[in-house]
């Protein structure tokens, strides 16, 4: 069986028949395996009869009026495909080619994206086996990736899904929409948040946020688990899972992610600080550091 179990929640792997139907324009699937590491979407590596291997990623199933999603997490697969197509060809930004995007839901009730299988291994998996020089190379390459993405300037700030429903013409407008959506989500899910305090903080920050005038492309989840590397040389061979990408201010620094096990940031002299998400630091503030 190529794909069997239909998982609850946000994952929806495809069955044999569904894979055959969706992949018809590309070829005939002969085997498949789940790709480990994903925490949100279902991802399968499928080998075709012509010898190629492709990655099949499905969107989130429609789960009624109250899906187990935050507002910004909806329609992520289409946003990911858009970013991959935008980033294709950017110097120093190795992303997968989107081979097929099935959104008409004629074969299966979720969106499906098919992309090439990139070489390399997950940095978060192999970092303990890498030499200091390889780790330093990986850090430099990730910096190159970030710089390449940041060269792309959009027309609006925010998340591109649903025509920038969580976005705006300015960074304060977009950031305000994002925070309002999170506060709404907290209310829906019964999470205790001091909403007036949060709104007041966002309001106080508006002058600083307004210093950002150009919306640059951000990956938004660029941590070692989404970086593929050559463990011997440290060369970054792929950047994956930009599903939460948005246009905002360029990130000024990194901060190490938490909850990911031991850190790949060795040696100490090569350890960056890694910021997951959009930094709101102005150029003036960055240069004063």
d(CA 62, CA 56): 18
Q: Mean pLDDT, to the nearest integer, of 237-253?
A: 73
pLDDT given for residue 204 in this prediction:
97
Give the N- to C-terminal CA distance of the chain in Å, as an integer: 56
pLDDT, tens digit, 9 for 90 and up, residues 147-168: 999 999 988 999 888 888 889 9
Specify burial of residue 143 (Cβ count, 10 A radius: 0-12, 13-18, 19+). middle
* H or E element in which residue 78 lies: helix 76-87
pLDDT, tens digit, 9 for 90 and up, residues 137-146: 999 999 999 9
0.85 exceeded by pTM: no
Q: What confidence tier does 67 reach under pLDDT thresholds 50, 70, 90?
A: low
pLDDT given for residue 250 in this prediction:
55
Specify burial of residue 113 (Cβ count, 10 A radius: 0-12, 13-18, 19+). buried
Q: Which tokens hold the place of 120?
A: 């390399």
In 22-156, where do the E strands start and end? 29-34, 42-48, 53-58, 98-102, 112-116, 121-122
The more confidently predicted of residues 65 and 194 is 194
Q: Mean pLDDT, to the nearest integer, of 130-140?
A: 97
Percent of the chain with pLDDT over 90: 58
How far, CA to CA in Å, does 272 sit from each of 140, 146, 192, 219, 251? 10, 13, 33, 17, 13
Contact 12, 3 (CB under 8 A): no
User: 52 Cβ partners below 8 Å, 6+ apart?
Assistant: 26, 27
pLDDT, tens digit, 9 for 90 and up, residues 179-233: 999 999 999 889 999 999 999 999 999 999 999 999 999 888 889 999 999 999 9
d(CA 2, CA 16): 5
Q: What is the mean pLDDT of the chain?
A: 82
């Amino acid at each position: 069986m190529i794909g069997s179990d239909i998982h609850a929640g946000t994952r929806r792997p495809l069955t044999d028949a569904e894979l055959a139907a969706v992949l018809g324009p590309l070829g005939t699937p002969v085997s498949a395996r789940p790709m480990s590491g994903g925490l949100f979407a279902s991802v399968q590596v499928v080998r075709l009869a012509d010898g190629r291997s492709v990655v099949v990623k499905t969107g989130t199933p429609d789960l009624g009026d109250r899906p187990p999603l935050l507002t910004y997490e909806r329609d992520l697969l289409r946003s990911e495909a858009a970013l991959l197509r935008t980033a294709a060809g950017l110097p120093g930004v190795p992303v997968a080619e989107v081979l097929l995007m099935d959104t008409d839901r004629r074969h299966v009730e979720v969106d499906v994206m098919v992309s090439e299988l990139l070489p390399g291994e997950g940095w978060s998996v192999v970092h303990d086996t890498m030499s200091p020089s390889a780790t330093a190379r990986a850090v430099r390459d990730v910096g190159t990736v970030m710089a390449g993405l940041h060269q792309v300037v959009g027309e609006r700030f925010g998340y591109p899904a649903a025509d920038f429903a969580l976005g705006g013409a300015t960074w304060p407008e977009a950031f305000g929409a994002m925070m309002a959506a999170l506060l709404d989500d907290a209310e829906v899910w019964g999470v205790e948040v001091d909403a007036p305090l949060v709104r007041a903080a966002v309001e106080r920050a508006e002058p600083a946020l307004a210093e950002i005038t150009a919306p640059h492309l951000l990956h938004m989840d660029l941590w070692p688990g989404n970086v593929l590397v050559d463990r011997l040389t440290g060369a970054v061979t792929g950047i994956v899972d930009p599903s939460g990408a948005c246009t905002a201010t360029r990130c000024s620094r990194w901060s190490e992610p938490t909850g990911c096990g031991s850190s790949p940031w060795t040696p100490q002299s090569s350890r960056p600080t890694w910021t997951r998400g959009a930094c709101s630091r102005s150029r003036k503030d960055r240069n004063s550091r």
